[in-house]
Structure 1
Amino acid sequence: MVDRLDGKVALITGGASGIGLAIAKKFVDEGAQVALADINADTGEKIAAQIGDNAMFVTLDVTQEDQWEAAFKAVIARFGKVNVVVNNAGIAIGNNIEDIPLEQWNKVVAINGTGMMLGTKHGIRNIKNYGGGSIINMDSIEGFIGESFNLAYDFTKGGVRIMSKSAALYCAEKKYDIRVNTIHPGYIHTPMVDVTPDLVKLEEAKTPLGHLGDPNDIAYMAVFLASDESKFATGSEFVVDGGYIAQ
C-alpha cells in the first residue's frame, strides 16, 4: 500500500506541540518528511529527534521574514525540496473592543496575521520551484463567527480566510499548481485547555457533538489537503468543529 504523502516534504509551523505536532506525526506516518518550525527550540529539537530521520527542527519566529528565508533554506538543504507548508503557529489573547491595549493587538496581528502572510508568501516562492503543492493555513471557526472577548484573534482569523482565497487565485492565475486552503477547527483538546477545566466544560456544552475535538481530527484533514487527493480544492474552507457553526 502506498502511503498518502510519499515523496512529500512539509514545513509545519507551531510544530513542537498541540495541533502542529499531531500534523507532523501523521504526515510522517503517511510517508512525508517534515520540518518542525517553532520558536521553542529546546522542545522542538527533542521532538524532532524522537520522530526520527524523517523529521528535522528549525527555529522560526513567524513574524521575522529573514527567519522564514533561513528556514526554507535549511529544509531544502536537508530534504531537497518543499511541497507543503502548514501555517499553524498562532496565539489567542482574549480582550474586547473597549479594553484591548494596542500592544496586545499588535502582538496578535503580528503572529496570526503577518506570520501567516509570510508563510504563504515564502511557501509559494519555494513550492513553485518543485512542481507545485499545497499551502494549508490553520484558521478557526472564528474565521466565520465573532466572540465579544476575542477581538484581535477574530480579526486575524477573518483576515486569514480571505487572504488565503486571494493567494489561491493568484497561484491559479500564475499556473503554479499550488493550492491554498484553510482549516477551521472548533474547540480542540490540547494541553493548554487542561489548565482550565471550567472552560473545557463550557466548550463541550457549546459543541453539538458534546465533546472537544482531538488534534488528530485536524491532522487527518491536513493529510487530505497535503495529498494529491485534494488536487481540485483551492481557495476553500474545511471546517472541523463538531457542528458548532451549523447552529
Structure 2
Amino acid sequence: MGRVAGKIALITGAASGLGFADAKLLAEEGAKVVLTDVNIEKGEAAALELGPSASFIKHDVSSEQDWIEVISKIDELHGNLDILVNNAGVVVMSDPVNCTLEEFRFANRIMSEGVFLGMKYSMPLLKKNHGGSIVNMSSTASHLGYPIFFAYSAAKGAVRSMTKSMAIHCQAESFPVRCNSVHAGGIETPMVQFAQGRADEAPVDVPAQGVLPADSLGTPKDVASMILYLASDESRFVTGAEFLIDNGLLARPAM
C-alpha cells in the first residue's frame, strides 16, 4: 500500500526536472498523477514513461482559461483532486536596474499568478475530500537577496506569502485543505542547466551558485521526497509551513 494510494495529484511543469520527479514518486506510491506543461511532446512522453497511472494535459499556468479547463477535465476524469503541486517555473536573469517590465511580468505571470490561479481554481475539488494538500514550490531565493535573479526572487517571495495566507484562509473557512511551501536550493535540474548556459552550463541551482560546494548538490528526488510527505496523510497536522531543502545554505553565516 503506497503512501498516497488512491489519491489524485496534479503536478504543473511536470514534463521534466522537479515536476517529473514529483510525479514519478507520487505515482510509485500509489497516486494517479495528472502532469501538465506547455511542452506537449515532453509532457506526453513523461506521462507515457510513468505508465497507466499518469495522464498529460497541455497547460499554460499563466492562463486563467487553461486552469478552468484543466480542473474541469480532472473533475470529469476522476471526480476529485487530493493533491496540487504548483511546480511550474522559469528563470529570468536580470538585476533590478536592467530588468525590463516585461521580464518582471513574465516571471510573475508564471510563478506568482500561476500559483494564485492554481490554488483558486483547484479549491472546489480539493475541499470535497477530507485532507486535500497544496504544495507550492518556492525557493531559497525568497529568503535572500539575489540581484541577478530579481524577478525570479520576487515571484518566489510572493509564493511564500500566498502559501501562508491560503493556509490560514482554509482554516478560517473550515476547508479540509493544507497548504505548504518548499524552498529548494542547490538542486540539479535541466531548467537550471539552461539558465547557467552562460556559465559553462554548470548544473547548479541558480541561487546557490558559488555558495554550496560542488559535491553537495541535491537531486530532484531529494525534493520529491518532501513533496511526497506533504502530499500524504502523514502531514495532516502541517499547514502554513515552509520547508528548506538546501543542504544548510540558509543556515550558513555570511562570509
TM-score when scaled to structure 2?
Answer: 0.91
* Aligned pairs (5 A) from 1:1-247: 2-194=1-193, 195=197, 196-197=199-200, 199-200=202-203, 203=208, 205-207=210-212, 210-247=215-252
Give me the whole-angstrom Cα distance separating, in 1, the residues matched to 2:95 and 2:192: 21
Asked if the contact 1:204–1:210 (Cα under 8 Å) also holds between the matched residues in 2, the reply is no
Structure 1 vs Structure 2 CA RMSD:
1.7
Asked if the contact 1:189–1:215 (Cα under 8 Å) also holds between the matched residues in 2, the reply is yes
Asked if the contact 1:208–1:243 (Cα under 8 Å) also holds between the matched residues in 2, the reply is no
Select between 180-189 and 76-85 the one with higher mean Cα deviation: 76-85
Asked if the contact 1:83–1:130 (Cα under 8 Å) also holds between the matched residues in 2, the reply is yes
**Where do 5+ consecutive residues of structure 2 fail to align?**
none
Give me the whole-angstrom Cα distance separating, in 2, the residues matched to 1:219 and 1:200: 18
Asked if the contact 1:136–1:181 (Cα under 8 Å) also holds between the matched residues in 2, the reply is yes
SS at match of 1:184: strand
Give me the whole-angstrom Cα distance separating, in 2, the residues matched to 1:198 and 1:101: 24
Select between 211-220 and 118-127 the one with higher mean Cα deviation: 118-127
Asked if the contact 1:209–1:242 (Cα under 8 Å) also holds between the matched residues in 2, the reply is no
Give me the whole-angstrom Cα distance separating, in 1, the residues matched to 2:229 and 2:145: 28
**Where do 5+ consecutive residues of structure 1 fail to align?**
none
Identity %: 39
Q: Deviations over 1:116-136 (max 9, x none)?
A: 110111122221123341000
Asked if the contact 1:23–1:219 (Cα under 8 Å) also holds between the matched residues in 2, the reply is yes
Deviation at 1:210, TM superposition (A): 3.9
Give me the whole-angstrom Cα distance separating, in 1, the residues matched to 2:147 and 2:99: 12
Q: Deviations over 1:9-53 (max 9, x none)?
A: 000000111000000000000000000011111211122122111
Give me the whole-angstrom Cα distance separating, in 1, the residues matched to 2:73 and 2:50: 18
Amino acid paired to 2:137: M
Asked if the contact 1:14–1:88 (Cα under 8 Å) also holds between the matched residues in 2, the reply is yes
Q: Which runs of 4+ in 1 moved over 6 A?
A: none
Select between 44-53 and 220-229 the one with higher mean Cα deviation: 44-53
Deviation at 1:208, TM superposition (A): 5.9
SS at match of 1:47: helix
Asked if the contact 1:208–1:242 (Cα under 8 Å) also holds between the matched residues in 2, the reply is no
